[in-house]
Amino acid sequence: IRDEQSGYNKNLFCIPKHYEEDLERVFIPHGLILDRTERLARDIMQDMGSHHIVALCVLKGGYKFFADLLDHIKALNQNGDKSVPITVDFVRIKRYC
């Protein structure tokens, strides 16, 4: 996505009524985010080879992305030739500490 891209017309998407007045354009559609997340999962599986994967989620803002990424990794793990062990953990960080 280029910096100068102006986004997509909001009329191309199903926008909840309570957001219609507040939203002007859609810059990154959800499908594109999911596609890139799946690609990231494929890259991780390829780069890690058969090494154990330790997945660490920074709460609270990263949970949804983390869950989507792990879903893609698990699907690749189940459907691939080899199974890679995955450990999942969470950390909560406060910037003022």
Whether the Cβ atoms of residue 76 and residue 43 lie closer than 8 Å to each other: no
| CB neighbour class for 73 (10 Å; exposed up to 12, middle 13-18, buried from 19) | buried
Residue 46 lies inside a defined structural domain of this protein: yes
Residue 50 lies inside a defined structural domain of this protein: yes
Number of domains the chain contains: 1
Residue 1 lies inside a defined structural domain of this protein: no
Q: What is the pTM of this model?
A: 0.73
Instruction: Give the CATH number, domain containing residue 14.
Output: 3.40.50.2020
Q: How far apart (Å, rounded) are the C-alpha atoms in residues 3 and 40?
A: 21
**Can you give the residue range of the structural domain that contains 48?**
8-92
Residue 39 lies inside a defined structural domain of this protein: yes
The DSSP result for 29-72, as a single string, is: -HHHHHHHHHHHHHHHHHHHTTSPEEEEEEETTTHHHHHHHHHH
Q: What is the pLDDT along the chain (97 residues), one digit of tens a residue?
A: 677 788 888 888 888 899 889 988 888 888 888 999 999 999 999 998 888 999 999 887 788 999 999 999 999 988 877 788 999 999 888 777 6
